[in-house]
Structure 1
Amino acid sequence: MGDTNSTSTERQLSSEKAEAILAGGMQEFLTHGFAATSMDRVAKSAGVSKATVYSHFQDKEGLFNALIRRLVEEQFSLIFASSDKEIQQADPAIVLSALANRVLEVGTKDPQFINFMRVILGESGRFPKLARAFVRNIEKTAFNTLCQYLSSCLNLSDPEATARIFVGTLVHYLIVQEMLHGKDILPMERDRLVENLVTLIVGNSAKKI
């Protein structure tokens, strides 16, 4: 019994340290960027030893990749929040509108997400592996799920291309409006964008029935 309690306590402490390291890493990467962040900085910010940081996340790239996975899981797991059965039975226009609005909500209301995206884009030239890791995680969580939905619920000739058009439109909006501060240069109401995007996709599906 004592050994079980001891093991449980150790796991809890290890989990708490990992969370502290992730939080410290996020703070340091957002403040200094990937290149200028050191594991010493992360350890100090997390309140742990550098050896503890390395024992949880083998190196700086491993820590950054863990943050990418965490960010993607937290933000994009909410995109298809309903059960598969509920989604299959719902009006596609409602499902796609809700999906688009969740994506844009994350991009416009979560400054940490936007700032982390800036770090990834800013470092992508020198550290292409980081950008590829982000794309790979997005592919697994959001893009594949969207492709599966479009394939099963809409009569589309090319669901994969349609998924890219859908995601690309939303990403372009976030980059121009939020990341590049272009709201006053290329203004566009979010509701107008979503309504027209969904109408194009659902309308294109209806024409093939």
Structure 2
Amino acid sequence: MNETYTDGFFYHPDAAVAQRVADGELNPRLDDLFVTALEETVSAKAAAEKRVTRLKNRLSEIEDEIAKADAEVARINERHKHQYEAMAKYERGDELDAQEQGLLTPKFSSLVNEQRRADIESQFEEHEGAFEKLEADDWSIERKRVEDGFLYVTVKRAVEVVVAPDTKVAKRVAKAIAKFFSPDFDRAERVHMWDRRASLRPLNPGAG
């Protein structure tokens, strides 16, 4: 619920503090910026806690992936052993069954990858005109792939380097709140949202 304070014909809903800072219309006697700072900290804490939860979930997923990879290593070791057994059988002049022949037949994965790249290039050559237009407009093609019947490309283009948004905002905020910390400012007249502050208090203040 937003708390509203009035100043003549003007009202100051707390949700609009950021906009008033941006507009240079902040009124220290009507806006409790300390509450805003506390809310940002509480929000940052909540976001960090969510990230911890996500990472823990990811850790569980990684542990599952490790278990699957270990099982795959065991299967590969078993295949390796069977390959040597099949080779020994072949060297003895014995007939090999289809499974044993399969164990000794290379898959040539490198050839598969080369064929895949050739197929992708062939698909993209059909649309070379579109890429030439992009490159003529200073776009560069970084990555190409074909998936599920669609062509995908990653493109990039240099842009003018500008001042970072956080730097711009920091300057506006510093200017807006300067009066809060001015020696001439009457701190007793500054608005205090005590209820809001109480709800934002740390659960274990002073804990190390």
Q: Using structure 2 for the length normalisation, give the TM-score.
A: 0.21
| Higher RCO structure, 1 or 2 (CA under 8 Å, sep 6+) | 2
Say which one has the larger Rg: 2
Name the one with the larger helix percent: 1
Name the one with the larger strand percent: 2
